[in-house]
Amino acid sequence: MDIESALKQNILSQLIFWQFFDVPKNILRAWKNFLKFNLEFFSVPLLLKTYFSYWHGYKWSYGRGFDLARWAEALVSNLISRALGAFLRSWLIIFGMITEIIIFFLGLILFLGWFFLPIISLIAIFYGLKFL
């Protein structure tokens, strides 16, 4: 907004601007930060990327030449390491997704709550008087 048009605003229009534009914008930004941070905290993108990686780098060498028994042993061990990795990662991913959903709804409540704050206040006063 330029200075000229801002100067024309009176205090009421400033209040409306603040209520319905300034603060919601900030809430949206904070909400986005929390959503993004939650995924980062549970390392969801990284875990998905390395979903089938060996668990803590445990892997068995297939060795030189071909020996079926040794090959099969290495294969099974490596598969177990990968499966274990995927299993444990799944848990963290699930946790991460659950909290993500919770944060989404909390943010939504806050956002809408702020938007309807004037009405909510009026209703609260109305009920307060009624209770008296």
Binding residues vs another protein (CB under 8 A): 1-3, 6-7, 9, 11, 14-15, 17-18, 22, 30, 33-34, 36-37, 40-43, 46-47, 50, 53-58, 85, 88-89, 92, 117, 121, 124-125, 127-132
The set of residues, in sequence order, having a beta carbon less than 8 Å from that of 119 and lying 6+ positions away, is none
Would you say 115 and 21 are in contact if contact means Cβ atoms under 8 Å apart? no
3-state secondary structure of 54: coil
Which of 2, 105 has the CB closer to another protein?
2
Minimum distance from CB of 109 to another protein (Å)?
Answer: 15
**Running DSSP on this structure, what letter comes out for residue 64?**
S
Q: What are phi and psi of 61, to 5 degrees?
A: -80, 140
Minimum distance from CB of 68 to another protein (Å)?
Answer: 27
Which of 50, 71 has the CB closer to another protein?
50
Minimum distance from CB of 69 to another protein (Å)?
Answer: 25
Minimum distance from CB of 80 to another protein (Å)?
Answer: 16
Nearest to 40 by CA among 92, 106, 87: 92
